[in-house]
Chain A
Amino acid sequence: MPEMTYIQAISDGLRLEMRRDQRVILLGEDVGVYGGAFKVSLGFQEEFGPWRVIDTPLSETAIVGGATGAALMGMRPVAEMQFADFISCAWDQLVTVAAKQFFRVGTPIPIVVRLPSGGGFSGGPFHSQNPESSFAHIPGLKIVCPATPHDAKGLLASAIEDPNPVLFFEHKHLYRRIKGDVPEDRYTVPFGSANVHRPGDDATVITWGAMVHTANDAAAELAKEGFEVEVLDLRTLIPWDKERVLEGVRRCSKVLVLHEDTRTGGFGAEIAATIAEEAFEHLDAPVMRLAAPDTPVPFSPPLEKAFIPQVDDVVSALRELAEY
């Protein structure tokens, strides 16, 4: 099984889908000749031609709107935002049109919007956000947040296969930092199925994306103290694996919900509320949330470090739970 970086796995998955299914097309700024802002589609135009790998004008509205129209006509478009932050420009197409089309008219919109998201490299306030919770709130959209190369490739295949609009949040800070074994052939990772990234019984950390790795490092730290922390990677937020989360809560009774997105209204709030509603009698400590503070993402490296939850922050939160 070859080892791939996270970004190679995405690239590989996308290529396999395009080879397998003629309906899969790519749209985005500079995805063609240039190969995409992060070079995910480097060489794709040569292989698949300019009609399947389309360089678009600098308009996110046009990209998502075009993808939605193409989907209506039977294609399986994959749209790329250069940065997830820019999706605000496509809000109307995505939220008002794509998300509601099937509900209103009965025609599915099988599009995937790839969203390079997250911080950790001084991208500043316009290039570092994790806007997943805004879209998790919109009925009709699916939200995917892979944390490993294996899941990135498998979830991308599932996303392209899915008949609904899917937002595919790729964490930029994982792109070349995280490597892992990835099967050469096509495979899918199902939506709504959390992955136990690290087993443990003393507390469970529920997280996704880059924070899976932060949580994992923190759990390893706590393990030295004899406190075994489960790291549960949700992998997809819509749908999210509620049953697996509640199982972990019932078993561990202490819960940390961790995300890189800002705190207020973050998807962690939804998880925490669900736990309180459905597993209250299994709690041995208040459900704890650890998230970025409610500010834009700072550019300054020390400030950004203070903003994004670090391993030390997770360690101290877990210690607090351990001692509670």
Chain B
Amino acid sequence: MSTGTQTEVVMPQMGVSVSEGTITKWLKQVGDSIQRDEPLLEISTDKVDTEVPSSADGVVSQILVQEGETVEVGTVLAIIAPAGAEVAPPEPTPAAPEPAPAPAAAPAQPEPVAAVTPPPAPEPVQAEATPAPTAAPVTPAAAENGRTFVSPVVARIAAEHGVDPSAVPGTGTGGRVTKKDILTFIESGAAAAPPPVPTSAPPVEVAPPPAPEPVAAAEPAPTPPPPAAPEPEPAPVAAAPAAAPATPPSPAPAAPAPAAEPVAAQAELAPGEELEPMSAMRRGVMAHMRRSVDTAAHVTSAIEVDMARVVALRTKLKPELAAQKVNLTYLAFIARATVDTLLDYPWVNGELRGQSIVTRPYVNLGIAVALDEGKGLIVPVIRNAQDLNLTGTARAIQDIAERARTKKLLPDDVQGGTFTITNPGSFGTFHGTPIINQPQSAILGTYALVKRPWVIQDDLGSDVIAIRPVMNLTLTYDHRLVDGAYAGMCLRDIRDRLESWDEAGY
């Protein structure tokens, strides 16, 4: 990526389906010196927000993409010149988001002069010098960027499986997609997904291909705006049949492809209204939630859990674990009990894939983490959660939550979940109906722990009213796969584990 003396910093590939990212903040400005691996800028994609480090020591010589702009993976964002090198003045950097025509226009200026005096006069050369530094490095970047190189074997496998190699996360040199990467990608089933959708969309729900009726369920397009246009608006309401997958979208009626300029969405603002651009994360959440509701048959069941044993145990263990810098939360207990229970209910931990049911002997547990004071949401994943004891679970939750808030999550941290827990109860809510994190089959909601009058049996077997800490848990499940009895048994087992928590067992 280094062109002789300069080094280009490009938009990194941040996950399987991520094809673009938005520059949220430049941490360095032109002229600042920077060290290799030192954070240079912050970007936001529909999977994660993260920092992009510098790929070389030196001085920031050019910043080519401004804050707020969304560009494709591989786009050159900045140029790092070696320390002491002459730093180009900021002017040549295109300030407007539409730089393309500008350089073209510049050389056009001296052209007439050249027409009069055929031999190339020195002046026009100078005039052309300005756009050159911007344009020149871009081409080698595309060629040298490992991500764009597809090895013969990867090309062949991609062709055989109909996979777009650029959708595969690469682990090779410069992010190149290796044979292993693409084979893993195909094995994971991600290949079945239509390109623009993040995770493997559950295809084929016996949808009659171009039936006109389902059109009613309109869905926001999954937001691939044309790369050049950093359109701040949410993608328009394209009339695409929600559940018509696999089959090519071509027969979809009415939906004209270039609906990029939304008419309705741009309706004038009422007095007092304000327009706010949508973050990449917001767009991701938006598309995902809509898709999930359109995909799964959501049903929610709730159960009340007497948390007295858990409360007592937590009170006892908390100082001990605090010494190990582990914050023992109720969520850790619930996660632990849930993971054990899920192994007994593989369909709750499973997935519908085509006409088949996928089950697995492990639980990759997603934990919904609220960001930005409730204005953002991300679901990092604890892999092989079944291998963790209570302390390990608490530590893992703490780790991913912390990294989510400090934007240190890696793309793989948000992939591959098999089940999700969301915890809106910390604000006191006692019930909810969360939306399933596709392509999973269920999501557990945890709610406020409330002291309530509770009927229990005393030593003599008589009913008495006691004050007990009680928590509601909800299981929202996809009724296409999970039936009510199965979900009920699963919830019951989670409750029983929590109510009969055996200290030694965990």
Q: A280 — which chain B residues lie within 8 A by C-beta?
A: 152
User: Judging by beta carbons under 8 Å apart, are A253 and B172 in contact?
Assistant: no
Q: B172 — which chain A residues lie within 8 A by C-beta?
A: 323-324
Q: A282 — which chain B residues lie within 8 A by C-beta?
A: 152-153, 156
Please, which residue of chain B has its CB at the minimum distance from the CB of A202? B180
User: Judging by beta carbons under 8 Å apart, are A324 and B152 in contact?
Assistant: no
User: Judging by beta carbons under 8 Å apart, are B173 and A281 in contact?
Assistant: no
B454 CB to nearest chain A CB (Å): 53
Known: A323-B173, A324-B173. A281 touches B179 (CB 8 A): no
User: Judging by beta carbons under 8 Å apart, are A281 and B176 in contact?
Assistant: no
Kindly supply a per-residue 1/0 record for chain A positions 270-305, scoring 1 wherever the CB is within 8 Å of any chain B CB and 0 otherwise. 000000000011111100000000000000000000
- Is residue B155 within 8 Å, beta carbon to beta carbon, of the partner chain? yes
User: Judging by beta carbons under 8 Å apart, are B173 and A283 in contact?
Assistant: no
Complex Cα spacing A324 to B177, Å: 9
User: Judging by beta carbons under 8 Å apart, are B173 and A284 in contact?
Assistant: no
B160 CB to nearest chain A CB (Å): 10
User: Judging by beta carbons under 8 Å apart, are A284 and B178 in contact?
Assistant: yes
User: Judging by beta carbons under 8 Å apart, are B156 and A281 in contact?
Assistant: yes
- Is residue B154 within 8 Å, beta carbon to beta carbon, of the partner chain? yes
Kindly supply a per-residue 1/0 record for chain B positions 177-213, scoring 1 wherever the CB is within 8 Å of any chain A CB and 0 otherwise. 0110000000000000000000000000000000000
Q: A283 — which chain B residues lie within 8 A by C-beta?
A: 151-153
Kindly supply a per-residue 1/0 record for chain B positions 84-126, scoring 1 wherever the CB is within 8 Å of any chain A CB and 0 otherwise. 0000000000000000000000000000000000000000000
User: Judging by beta carbons under 8 Å apart, are B154 and A284 in contact?
Assistant: yes
User: Judging by beta carbons under 8 Å apart, are B152 and A281 in contact?
Assistant: yes
Known: A323-B173, A324-B173. A281 touches B155 (CB 8 A): yes
User: Judging by beta carbons under 8 Å apart, are A253 and B173 in contact?
Assistant: no
User: Judging by beta carbons under 8 Å apart, are A284 and B155 in contact?
Assistant: no
Q: A323 — which chain B residues lie within 8 A by C-beta?
A: 172-173
User: Judging by beta carbons under 8 Å apart, are B179 and A284 in contact?
Assistant: yes
B445 CB to nearest chain A CB (Å): 40
B143 CB to nearest chain A CB (Å): 16
Q: A284 — which chain B residues lie within 8 A by C-beta?
A: 151-154, 178-179
Complex Cα spacing A49 to B155, Å: 65
Tally of B interface residues using CB under 8 Å: 11
A322 CB to nearest chain B CB (Å): 10
Q: A285 — which chain B residues lie within 8 A by C-beta?
A: 151
Q: B173 — which chain A residues lie within 8 A by C-beta?
A: 323-324
Please, which residue of chain B has its CB at the minimum distance from the CB of A254? B179
Complex Cα spacing A281 to B176, Å: 17
Please, which residue of chain B has its CB at the minimum distance from the CB of A286? B151
Residues facing A in B381-430 (CB within 8 A) are none
- Determine chain A's interface SS by DSSP, over half rule: loop
B291 CB to nearest chain A CB (Å): 34
A40 CB to nearest chain B CB (Å): 46
User: Judging by beta carbons under 8 Å apart, are B153 and A324 in contact?
Assistant: no
Kindly supply a per-residue 1/0 record for chain A positions 295-323, scoring 1 wherever the CB is within 8 Å of any chain B CB and 0 otherwise. 00000000000000000000000000001
Q: A281 — which chain B residues lie within 8 A by C-beta?
A: 152-153, 155-156
Complex Cα spacing A285 to B174, Å: 13
B401 CB to nearest chain A CB (Å): 30
Q: B179 — which chain A residues lie within 8 A by C-beta?
A: 253, 284
Q: A253 — which chain B residues lie within 8 A by C-beta?
A: 151, 153, 179
Q: B155 — which chain A residues lie within 8 A by C-beta?
A: 281
Residues facing A in B154-180 (CB within 8 A) are 154-156, 172-173, 176, 178-179
Complex Cα spacing A324 to B174, Å: 9
Q: B152 — which chain A residues lie within 8 A by C-beta?
A: 280-284
Complex Cα spacing A283 to B152, Å: 6
Please, which residue of chain A has its CB at the minimum distance from the CB of B159? A281
B101 CB to nearest chain A CB (Å): 40
Complex Cα spacing A281 to B153, Å: 5
Q: B178 — which chain A residues lie within 8 A by C-beta?
A: 284, 324
Residues facing A in B298-334 (CB within 8 A) are none
Complex Cα spacing A323 to B156, Å: 21
Complex Cα spacing A323 to B172, Å: 6
Complex Cα spacing A324 to B172, Å: 5
Known: A284-B151, A285-B151. A324 touches B176 (CB 8 A): yes
Kindly supply a per-residue 1/0 record for chain A positions 3-17, scoring 1 wherever the CB is within 8 Å of any chain B CB and 0 otherwise. 000000000000000
Q: B151 — which chain A residues lie within 8 A by C-beta?
A: 253, 283-285
Complex Cα spacing A283 to B176, Å: 14
B342 CB to nearest chain A CB (Å): 29
Complex Cα spacing A253 to B182, Å: 13
B150 CB to nearest chain A CB (Å): 10
Q: B154 — which chain A residues lie within 8 A by C-beta?
A: 284
Please, which residue of chain B has its CB at the minimum distance from the CB of A250? B153
B145 CB to nearest chain A CB (Å): 15
Q: B153 — which chain A residues lie within 8 A by C-beta?
A: 253, 281-284
Complex Cα spacing A9 to B154, Å: 45
B184 CB to nearest chain A CB (Å): 13
Complex Cα spacing A281 to B151, Å: 8
A230 CB to nearest chain B CB (Å): 15
B175 CB to nearest chain A CB (Å): 12
B185 CB to nearest chain A CB (Å): 14
A225 CB to nearest chain B CB (Å): 14
Complex Cα spacing A80 to B156, Å: 50
B4 CB to nearest chain A CB (Å): 23
Complex Cα spacing A253 to B181, Å: 13
Please, which residue of chain B has its CB at the minimum distance from the CB of A282? B153
- Chain B contact residues, CB within 8 Å of chain A: 151-156, 172-173, 176, 178-179
Residue pairs across A and B with Cβ atoms less than 8 A apart, 20 shown, are A253-B153, A281-B155, A281-B156, A282-B152, A282-B153, A283-B151, A283-B152, A283-B153, A284-B151, A284-B152, A284-B154, A284-B178, A284-B179, A285-B151, A323-B172, A323-B173, A324-B172, A324-B173, A324-B176, A324-B178
Given pairs A253-B179, A284-B153, A324-B176, 11 additional interface contacts (CB within 8 A): A253-B151, A280-B152, A281-B155, A283-B151, A283-B153, A284-B152, A284-B178, A284-B179, A285-B151, A323-B172, A323-B173
The 3 closest A-B pairs by CB, nearest first: A284-B179, A281-B156, A284-B153
